Structure 1
Amino acid sequence: MVLSRFWLVIFISSIVFVVFSLFSGNSYTIDYVLNGKKDDRVLISEKHLYQMPPFVKDSIEKAPENTIIINNNPKDADTTYVYKSQTVKVYSGVQKSDGLLPTCKATLLDLIIPLIAYLAFFCGLMELLIISGATEKLAKSLSPVFVKVFPSVPKNHPSISYMTLNFAANFLGLDSAATPFGLKAMESLQEINPDKEKASDAQIMFMCLHASGLTLIATSIIGYRAAANASNPADVMLPCIITSFIGTIAAFLIVGIKQKINFKSASLVVALMVMIAAIVGLLMYVNHLDLIGKNYFTSNLSALILVGIIGFTLLFAFIKEKKFAEAGTTVYEAFVTGANNGIKTGVTIFPYVLGMLVAISLFRNSGLFEIISNGIAFVFSNMGVSKEITDALPVAMLRPFSSAGSRGFLIDSMNTFGADSLTARLSSIFQCSAESTFYVIAVYFGSVNIKNTRYALGTMLLVDLICVITAIFVASWFF
């Protein structure tokens, strides 16, 4: 219900603002909202040639392709004049994101089809893990901890294995593997959900822990910083881990208090201490490496572990081939069956993802997001917050809506302020310390047709806010 209302508010307010901007004269056309593409020039006016200033009139008739670009202020977008059919079209600025119709197309071609491919492959592997008995063994070994965190989940339930694989993939920055494991976990939790249209306590806990984004190897962030010629691309790794770890603990405590979980359980305390020890140990190891060693380690660890998971799955399935025969199938046929299920899941979540991304596109292109972002930055600056921090806030604000959009702001901050500036480093921490909340909710709850997400959205947004505040303190402390 909350998600539905939020979606409607974004859509309706954006449409109202777009129409108001057109009739008030703030916008010359609204076609870009429907058909424009990201980074396209924005048409701001159209005039007859004789209405143009003399210097523009003289220059544009002689210019190649009757097009001139005037850059009066390097900090602002270029103004482009295009002369055609006795009229001059004036463009200024670029579009923030794809329009509504290109977003529909890109959602299918650039997002859903690749996602379906990932789902098909990893769901095929998971089918091997299920039939071979590997998931059962994993669930048994982890049940003492998981039954404390998810008291409504029966001991040794298959969802424990899927959640473990999802957390592990997120922890190592393996996004392509994390989503299929997570969707399988949601499907498994839905089987024991008494109300199929309402999110269960276990599903909410899983979603909030997943969305808190605990990541050890921020491979993509390091790659962006390296491409921007940062002096030490991996120097944000520790702040990212600290911020995402605090976000994960916050998510666990907030949901745990709501669900009245026993925090004094010995198994929970031991598991937490083991996790902290593992993180500290890895950080100490990485910290003693030189720059080349850090880049080599961070770029290879995640890939090596993913290859190891695939190799273990196939080898274990080969060893347990008798179980496949008992189930009336073969290893390859089981993989194909699982892959088919993955394709069906991808088709199911498409409408949910489409609806959310189209709303976000309209929200950004309407100008509302920019107004809200500038307003929040203005409030923070009047509170004495440094400009270096306020310049990074657009990444934090857009991250819950769109990973690609916030990534664009991140790259822009590195290009504008320098990769080693506090703004760029803080933007990097914002980018890797949380998930795209609305996308995640649309995908995961949509995959099992959950209509009432209860308090999941509010909790996830609160955790996002905690991560933002933590990131600011951590970045200020480190840099």
Structure 2
Amino acid sequence: MVLSRFWLAIFISSIAFVIFSLFFGNTYTIDFVLNGKKDDPILISEKYIQDLPTYIKDSIEKAPDKTMVINRDNLNLDTTYVYSSKTVKIYSGKQKSDGLLPTCKVSLFDIILPLMAYLAFFCGLMELLIISGASEKLARRLSPLFSKIFPSVPKNHESISYMTLNFAANFLGLDSAATPFGLKAMESLQELNPEKDKASDAQIMFMCLHAAGLTLIPTSIIGYRAAANAANPADVMLPCIITSFIGTIAAMIIVGIRQKINFKSATLLVALMTIISAICGLLFYINRLDLIEKNFFTANLSGLMLIIIIGFTLVFSFIYEKKFVEKNTTIFDTFVNGARNGLTTGVTIFPYVMGMLVAISFFRNSGLFEIMSNGISFAFSNIGVSKEITDSLPVAMLRPFSSSGSRGFMIDAMNTFGVDSLTGRLSSIFQCSAETTFYVIAVYFGSVKIKNTRYTLGTMLLVDLICVITAIFVASWFFVK
């Protein structure tokens, strides 16, 4: 219900603002909101050529293509004058994201179809884990821990293994594998849900833990920093881990208090200390490496772990091939059947993803997001927050809405302010230590057709805020001299 109203609020407020800007503001056309593409120039005005300054008029008439570009400063985009059919169209600035109609197309061809391919492959692997008995063995070993965090989930239930694989994939930065594992976990938890259109306690806890995005190796962030010629591309790794870990603990506590979970369990405390020790040990090892060794290690760890997971699944299935024979099937046929189920899941979630992405696109192109972002940055600057921090806030604000949009802001911040500046590093931490909340809710709850998400959205946004505040303190601690 909350998500539905939020979706409506984004659309209605954006539509109202677009109409107001067209008739009472400086907007010349609204076609870009509907049909424009990301990074296209925006038409801001149209004039008769005789109404232009003389030097611009003469330059246009002398140009072979009747086009003139005025190069302004590096912080502002070029203004382009294009003469056609007795009028001059004036373009300036770039579109923030695809318009409504291109977003519908992009959501299918660039998001859902690749996601369906990932779902097909990993759901095929998960079917092998189920039939071979590997998921049951994993669930049995982890049940003592998960029974404390998810008391409504029976011991040895298959959802435990799926959630574990999802958390592990996120932890290692394996985004393509994390989503299929997470969707399978939601489907499994939905089987235990007595009210099928209402999120269960276990599903809410799983989603909120997922929101913190606990990551050990932020491979993509390191790659972007390396491409921008950072002195040490991996120097944000420890701040990313600390921020996302604090966010994960905060999510567990916030939801746990709401669900009256007992945190005094020795099993839970031992598990947390084990995780902290493992992270510290690995970080200690990485810090002993030189720059080339760090780059090699961080570039290959995630990929190597994914290969190990795939190899383990296939070898385990071969060892217990008799279980497949007992079910009158083969290893390959089981994989194909699981892959087919993955494709079905992809078709199911497409409308939810498209609806959310279109709303976000409309919101960004309307100009409302930019006004809100500038307003918040101005407010923070007036209470003494440094400009280096306020310059990075657009990344944090957009992250819950759009991963690609916030990534664009992050890259722009690194290029504009310097990859090794506090702004550049803080933007990287923001991008790494939170989840695309609205997209994730649409995908995960949409896959099991849950309409009432209860307090999931509010909690996930609160966790995002905690990650933002933590990131600012951690980045200041590490990088402010």
Q: TM-score range by the shorter chain?
A: over 0.9
Q: Which residue in 1 is equivalent to 2:23?
A: 23
Q: Secondary structure at the match of 2:293?
A: helix
Note the 1:44-443 alignment, pairs <5 A: 44-443=44-443
Tell me which amino acid in the other structure corresponds to 1:314.
Answer: L
Q: Secondary structure at the match of 1:376?
A: helix
Q: Which residue in 2 is equivalent to 1:469?
A: 469
Partners of 2:311 and 2:64 in 1: how far apart?
Answer: 58
The Cα offsets for residues 119-169 of structure 1, whole Å up to 9 and x where unpaired, read as: 000000000000000000000000000000000000000000000000000
- 1:216: Cα distance to partner? 0.2
Partners of 2:427 and 2:72 in 1: how far apart?
Answer: 29
- 1:78: Cα distance to partner? 1.0
Equivalent residues, number: 479
Q: Secondary structure at the match of 2:65?
A: helix
Partners of 1:169 and 1:72 in 2: how far apart?
Answer: 45
Q: Secondary structure at the match of 1:89?
A: strand
Partners of 2:326 and 2:72 in 1: how far apart?
Answer: 76
Q: Secondary structure at the match of 1:65?
A: coil
- 1:240: Cα distance to partner? 0.2
Partners of 1:327 and 1:164 in 2: how far apart?
Answer: 26
- Consecutive unaligned residues of structure 1, counting only runs of 5 or more, are none
Partners of 2:217 and 2:135 in 1: how far apart?
Answer: 25
Partners of 1:308 and 1:342 in 2: how far apart?
Answer: 22
- 1:85: Cα distance to partner? 1.2
- Consecutive unaligned residues of structure 2, counting only runs of 5 or more, are none
Q: Secondary structure at the match of 2:45?
A: strand
Partners of 1:122 and 1:73 in 2: how far apart?
Answer: 48
Partners of 1:293 and 1:128 in 2: how far apart?
Answer: 36
- 1:73: Cα distance to partner? 3.2
- 1:61: Cα distance to partner? 1.1
Partners of 1:25 and 1:128 in 2: how far apart?
Answer: 59
Q: Which residue in 2 is equivalent to 1:444?
A: 444
Tell me which amino acid in the other structure corresponds to 1:394.
Answer: P
- 1:466: Cα distance to partner? 0.3
- Runs (4 or more) in structure 1 with deviation over 3 Å come to none
Partners of 2:406 and 2:412 in 1: how far apart?
Answer: 10
Tell me which amino acid in the other structure corresponds to 1:382.
Answer: N
Tell me which amino acid in the other structure corresponds to 2:118.
Answer: Y
- 1:65: Cα distance to partner? 1.2
Tell me which amino acid in the other structure corresponds to 1:317.
Answer: S
Q: Secondary structure at the match of 2:196?
A: coil
The Cα offsets for residues 46-78 of structure 1, whole Å up to 9 and x where unpaired, read as: 111111111111001111311111023332111
Partners of 1:190 and 1:17 in 2: how far apart?
Answer: 39
Q: Secondary structure at the match of 1:220?
A: helix
- 1:25: Cα distance to partner? 3.6
Q: Secondary structure at the match of 1:47?
A: strand
The Cα offsets for residues 341-387 of structure 1, whole Å up to 9 and x where unpaired, read as: 00000000000000000000000000000000000000100010000
Partners of 1:66 and 1:283 in 2: how far apart?
Answer: 59
Tell me which amino acid in the other structure corresponds to 1:69.
Answer: V
Tell me which amino acid in the other structure corresponds to 2:296.
Answer: Y
Tell me which amino acid in the other structure corresponds to 1:466.
Answer: I
Q: Secondary structure at the match of 1:83?
A: strand
Partners of 2:330 and 2:278 in 1: how far apart?
Answer: 38
The Cα offsets for residues 66-94 of structure 1, whole Å up to 9 and x where unpaired, read as: 11110233321111000111110000100
Tell me which amino acid in the other structure corresponds to 1:66.
Answer: K
Partners of 1:166 and 1:235 in 2: how far apart?
Answer: 26
- 1:280: Cα distance to partner? 0.4
